[in-house]
């Protein structure tokens, strides 16, 4: 009997240790989610139930200001109906785009353009939607700077790549205004 009690105590101690380790790992994962350079929101029944620090900082709201409010409360008025329609279609099981752009309104009135990626998840046994919000300016700036670098390099190489340099386009006989 004592051996059984001893064995059970050891098992309980082992389970408690595993539980502490799992809680620690979960906490570290949560810290990682809050450190992402993109915002995330979790929606249940079209209401925000989780938001990371990045999106709260970008919008200038506290978590108390955001939680339990519909996402459309923070969407620019010209896009509210579109965003609400996407949410309704997705919640009813119909097709809705998994990626779209929207504009969110910050607390100070500034508009934050975001690329939104939506994934259906299960949270505490219920269907929810995870929204990954990437500020569109940073992504567009990255694409634009790549395009600028590429176009400048192509323009710089163009005279050497074309057979006659600038000759096929302009041979000097006509004024540039007539070309």
Gyration radius of the chain's alpha carbons:
27
Q: Is the pLDDT confidence value at 37 over 90?
A: no
Q: Does some domain include residue 20?
A: no
Mean pLDDT of 90-119: 92
Q: Residue 32 — pLDDT band, cuts 50, 70, 90?
A: low
Domain range enclosing 46 = 37-155
52: left (phi over 0), alpha (psi -120 to 50) or beta: beta
pLDDT tens digit string along 44-56?
Answer: 998 999 998 889 9
Rounded CA-CA distance 71/10 in Å is: 48
Q: Is the pLDDT confidence value at 112 over 80?
A: yes
Q: Does some domain include residue 57?
A: yes
Q: Does some domain include residue 1?
A: no
| Residue bearing the bigger pLDDT, 84 or 26 | 84
Q: Does some domain include residue 72?
A: yes
Rounded CA-CA distance 101/105 in Å is: 13
The helix/strand/coil state of 50 is: strand
Q: What total of structural domains would you count in the chain?
A: 1
CATH number of 127's domain? 3.30.450.20
The pTM assigned to this predicted structure is 0.61
Q: Does some domain include residue 62?
A: yes
Q: Does some domain include residue 4?
A: no
Q: Which of 90, 59, 85 is nearest to 72 (CA)?
A: 85
pLDDT tens digit string along 146-156?
Answer: 555 555 555 44
Q: Does some domain include residue 61?
A: yes
Q: Residue 35 — pLDDT band, cuts 50, 70, 90?
A: low
Q: Does some domain include residue 13?
A: no
């Amino acid at each position: 009997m004592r051996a059984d009690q001893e064995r059970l105590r050891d098992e309980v101690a082992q389970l408690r240790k595993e539980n502490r380790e799992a809680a620690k790992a979960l906490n570290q994962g949560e810290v990682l989610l809050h450190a992402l350079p993109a915002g995330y929101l979790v929606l249940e029944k079209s209401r925000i139930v989780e938001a990371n620090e990045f999106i709260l900082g970008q919008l200038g709201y506290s978590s108390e200001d955001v939680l339990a409010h519909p996402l459309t409360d923070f969407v620019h008025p010209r896009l509210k109906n579109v965003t609400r329609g996407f949410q309704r279609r997705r919640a009813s099981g119909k097709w809705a785009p998994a990626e779209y752009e929207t504009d969110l309104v910050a607390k100070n009135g500034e508009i934050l353009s975001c690329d939104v990626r939506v994934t259906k998840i299960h949270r505490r046994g219920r269907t929810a939607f995870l929204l990954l919000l990437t500020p569109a300016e940073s992504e567009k700036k990255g694409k634009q700077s790549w395009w600028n670098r590429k176009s400048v390099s192509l323009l710089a190489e163009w005279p050497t790549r074309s057979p006659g340099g600038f000759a096929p386009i302009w041979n000097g006989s006509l004024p540039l205004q007539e070309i």
